[in-house]
Structure 1
Amino acid sequence: MKRLYLVEPVVALYAFSSFLIYPLVQQYVYRRFWQQLTNTPYPVSDNTSRCAPSNSSSNQTDFHKEVQKQTSLFSLYSELLSTIPSLIVTLVLVAYSDRGGRKITIIMPLIGMLIYTSTFLAVSFFELNIYLLIGSSFLCSLFGGIGTFLGGCFAYIADLCQDDRQKTLRMAGVDMMIGLLSGVAAISTGYFLRAAGFNWPFFTSALCLCLTLVYAVFILEETVRKTPADGSDIDGSPQCPRLRQLIFGFCQIFARASYKCKIVLALLMIIFTSFVFTYIGGISLMTLYELNEPLCWTEILIGYGSALSTTVFLTSFLGVSAFTYCGVPQLLIAALGILSVLSGLIMVAFAKTTVLMFLVRIPMLLSIMPFPVLRSVMSKIVSKSEQGALFAYLSFLESLFNNIGSAVFNSIYAATVGWYPGFVFLLAAGLCVIPLSAIAGVALIGVDVTTEPIKSEDGTSEEDGQAEENDTSPLLSSSSVNTSAGHC
């Protein structure tokens, strides 16, 4: 069978199967807690609203707050228990992929996600204890997570791309693929749930994951030449023991760079991680916020809202493509994306009507732009032999701050939902100042990393397609000249 160098179908199917159940997770937990705390069935009729006024409106409000609090704490416990295993697996697997191949970083998370989805199906079908879902989340994390999966996919793409423009656009294309397929899944989730309940969406997701595994195992081609058993590379040069390589691979990224490039790389990682923390932390509470008073959205509205939110992947891809074509500095592209998130989060904090909650998605249309741009910029700084180590580190940091952000904002939401549910979104908007300040710091340093060659271990410069890279838009300005004395 002929194998293909196309990782996009894997990303597409994974995004569809994942986002088919992601909007359902909080809804399912919310309904189970509603039934436990109120001893009444969850109202699903078109003519019945959980926010409808009643003689016991005070008790209903108390029930709303308690269900919101318990659901938020459940998400917090699940995140905390799965964070550390997922981080360790991400760090080891993606770094190991430099020698062992990229496919292992793609296949392992698919297996874990299949286990998680199957457990959800079993809990829903047999009405098992809801806290079994926390155990399945922990088990899933032992196979890695979405950080492992995306880290492997981006390293796979970096192996195939020779110039910076192609790398940036293809990474943005992966983000767009995630957005399109997750949008299709999200918009169908509400109708699927209304027509068939929770069981069939979980079963459909598990079936899609099985198809994805078949493609990844039997059709997707490997991009990394395996290291021989004697520990030598393909070209005959001896290699460090694998454990030592995993430990010191990240240090070598900084050791081979000049002082200015080290600062730039560190600041870029600060931008990346602080943006992940604020963006994911705020967005993760959107469904809970929509379920709460005064919005009280149904599953249909939540599906439409989730689908509309995923259009940011498409618009961000178009934004990156247009800005790159026009020669807009890449730091400015990232800053525009962060400002897009900041303005959207402020609107969410004050959204009290359905119309305004839908309009919130408009200022956030460019919110995904910083992710592919920052990944591409950092990928340019390190050598090709260290792409796996870089993306392992980025995936580790992304997963770490993703989980920390979700845990922190869930705990804050549980503490503040009683007096002002929108406080967490204002907090997230305020924290966007951190990545914006770091971008200003990189701009002030004035190092054009796209024109600085990387030092190899023997002290010589690695050009690695430098001729093509010089044609791309520089990091700091559209006509910047490298004036630094050191080289990366």
Structure 2
Amino acid sequence: MVLPSLCQTAFAMLRHIEPILVLEQLGSTFFDTALQMVVRDRCANATYPDTHLSRESSQQKAMSDFYMTYNLIIQLTPILPSMVLARLSDRRGWRRAPIVVPLSGYLLSRLALLLVVLFGLPLEVMFGAAVLFGLSGGYCAFWPGVMTLASLGSTATERSKVLMKVELLYGMTGLVGSLVSGHLFLLYSSSLGHGTILLTVSTLLNLLAFIHSIVLLQVKQVPEPEQDSNILSHASSDVSVAAPARIDIVNVVLLFAAAMLYGSAVGGAIEILGVFVLKAPLSWSATQVGYGNAAGCMIFLTSFLGVIVFRRCVSDVLLILIGMMSFASGIYFMSFVTATYQFYLARSLNLFGLIPMPTIRSLLSQQVPASSCGTTLTALQLSLKFGGLAYIPAFTKIYQRTLDWFPGFVFLLSSILTVLGMIPISIIGCRSPQRRNYERIQGD
């Protein structure tokens, strides 16, 4: 009797979104490390005769130019497909569409890089792979789809914690994948070059995730008790879980503004960070790149623990401010990093840097009905995409212009943007106390 029961439990767990998330994130961390090292190797001999740059500066410029174009394609092309997938999810009830379709794009992009390494194809092939990835909806459709399934499977009072658990699983998987990826990249045989085994495993993992989403994934929706629709959860939110007719437009706009400012700060800094660690004086190897990515993934764990501890005594607004302050301080210190140990010290200050975005998503999801949850979260993701069209080239060009005299200037700029993002969140905190007190009296 025990064995059949365990089998049923295991099968039920396989039908949730978590196994797909693990497979996809493992494949993605392997791919990210491989792409970073392949780009470095291909750009090693880049020259810019007209600019009189040194060899290292030329390599940095070539790498940052590649990532600027690659990331702009990924930011731009998913906009329309992700909206279509979100509408299919909300209007027609095809909740799996924003999961299945993007996973096909993940699979094709991983396969493209594998072919680039195996057959020595030009690195520009990855621009075409980025187009295919974007047309499938990419991360812009996949992550809101994951968050929508997680939101529908939880009550409003527990949603912040549930979404943070998803972030935790995503981060811990990335941590394991990053620790392993650098070592797998160095594995090769006489007929295969560096990165082939790593990319083969990455492609297979994404193939498994794609098949799993088609065959096993199940959509489950938890009904929301009526009394939860007009009262606040205890010390967990400053914005009431209201019916759509009572949406506070000002708060929604402020949340979007804060998300865009913070997303731009984080996205711009992380984009340059991958190039920054490959130049002197750090000059990281593939193994060190994997460890550095693992340090970034560790922030998922510390942010989750921060949510568990802080949500008992502070509001969601304060949670967001704590996370933003954590990232601002860490990325400010990153501006002056000249040694590997300093890099890890700077990352340690980012302990709670991942708290703001899932908490902002939680506040937004509580203010819309289930039928519009996917569209709202996708609209937020699209806003971040549009922001990327501005901050990606801006951060890249600023980094190239300041490369010789202050390469960490972009991280200082990121810290300033984060502080600016704290302003709209603070306004929400100032607007909330009166309504919060009223709701508590009503509850008593």
Which TM bucket (shorter chain)? Answer: 0.7 to 0.9
> What is the identity, as a one-letter code, of the residue corresponding to 1:219?
L
Instruction: Indicate which of 266, 273, 286 corresponds to 1:279.
Output: 266
**Residue equivalent to 1:69:** 61
Corresponding position of 2:386: 400
Aligned residue in 1 for 2:203: 206
Aligned partner of 2:162 in structure 1 is 170
Paired position in structure 1 for 2:183:
191
Q: Which residue of 2 aligns with 1:363?
A: 349
Take 2:394 and 2:46, find their aligned partners in 1: how far apart are those partners? Answer: 26
312, 333, 336: which one aligns with 1:347: 333
Q: Is residue 132 of structure 1 aligned with residue 125 of structure 2? A: yes
Pick one of 10, 15, 24 that aligns with 1:14: 24
For 2:146, the aligned partner's letter is: C
The match for 1:154 is 147
| Deviation by residue 1:174-197 (Cα, 9 ceiling, x = unmatched) | 111111111111111111122231
Q: What per-residue deviation string (whole Å, max 9, x for no partner) do you get for residues 443-470 of structure 1?
A: 2222678xxxxxxxxxxxxxxxxxxxxx
The residue aligned with 2:313 is 327
Are residues 1:264 and 2:216 paired?
A: no
CA distance in 1, matches of 2:12, 2:86: 22
Give the Cα–Cα distance (whole angstroms) in 1 for the partners of residues 58 and 255 of structure 2.
40
The residue identity in structure 2 corresponding to 1:319 is G
Aligned: 1:27 with 2:20: no
2:156·2:366 contact (CA, 8 Å) conserved in 1? no
Report deviation, 1:337: 0.3
For residue 388 of structure 1, give the secondary structure of its aligned residue in structure 2: helix
- State the TM-score, normalizing by the size of structure 1: 0.78
**1:232 corresponds to:** none
- How many pairs does the alignment contain? 403
Q: In 1, distance between residues paired with 2:82 and 2:384? A: 10
Aligned partner of 1:94 among 86, 96, 100 = 86
- The answer as to whether partners of 1:13 and 1:208 remain within 8 angstroms in 2 is yes
Q: How far is 1:392 from its partner?
A: 1.8
Paired-residue identity, %? 25
- How many angstroms does 1:135 deviate by? 1.2
CA distance in 1, matches of 2:361, 2:309: 18
Which of 91, 108, 115 is the matching residue for 1:122? 115
SS of equivalent residue, structure 2 residue 31: helix
Matched residue type, 2:73: L
Pick from 282, 288, 295: which aligns with 2:282?
295
Equivalent-residue separation in structure 2 for 1:383 and 1:281 (angstroms): 33
The TM-score, its normalising length taken from structure 2, stands at 0.86
Higher helix share: 2
Q: Distance in 2 between matches of 1:70 and 1:161?
A: 46
Alignment-derived partner of residue 246 in structure 1 = none
What SS does the corresponding residue of 1:294 show, helix, strand or coil? coil
Segments of 5+ residues of structure 2 without an aligned counterpart are 1-7, 189-193, 222-241
CA shift at 1:404, angstroms? 3.9
Q: Alpha-carbon deviation of 1:327?
A: 2.9
Contact 1:87 / 1:396 at 8 angstroms: preserved in 2?
yes
Indicate yes or no: 2:71 matched with 1:79: yes
* 8 Å contact kept, 1:79–1:407: no
Whether 1:387 aligns to 2:378 is no
Change (3 A) 1:306 1:320: same
CA distance in 2, matches of 1:177, 1:412: 34
Deviation at 1:26, TM superposition (A): 2.4
Distance in 2 (alpha carbons) for counterparts of 1:171 and 1:323: 15
Q: 2:411 aligns with which of 417, 425, 428?
A: 425
Q: Partner amino acid for 2:360?
A: L
Task: Specify whether residues 140 and 192 from structure 1 end up closer, same or farther in structure 2 by C-alpha distance, changes over 3 A only.
Answer: same
Give, as a single letter, the amino acid of the residue that structure 2 aligns with 1:367: G
Structure 1 unmatched ranges of 5 or more? 39-58, 225-252, 450-473, 475-479, 484-488
Using the TM superposition, give the Cα deviation of residue 3 of structure 1 relative to its aligned residue in structure 2, in angstroms: 6.3
Point out the more displaced range, 195-204 or 423-432. Answer: 195-204
Q: After the TM superposition, which of the residue ranges 307-316 and 20-29 deviates more from structure 2? A: 20-29
Note the alpha carbon deviations across 1:371-430, whole angstroms, 9 max, x for none. Answer: 111111111111222112211212212333345433331222122212211010001011
What code does the residue aligned with 1:270 have?
A
Displacement of 1:23:
2.4
From the CA coordinates, give the structure whose radius of gyration is larger: 1
- Secondary structure at the aligned position of 2:217 is classed as coil
CA contact (8 A) 1:338 1:367 kept: yes
What is the letter of the counterpart of residue 281 of structure 1? G
Q: Deviations over 1:28-57 (max 9, x none)?
A: 11210104549xxxxxxxxxxxxxxxxxxx
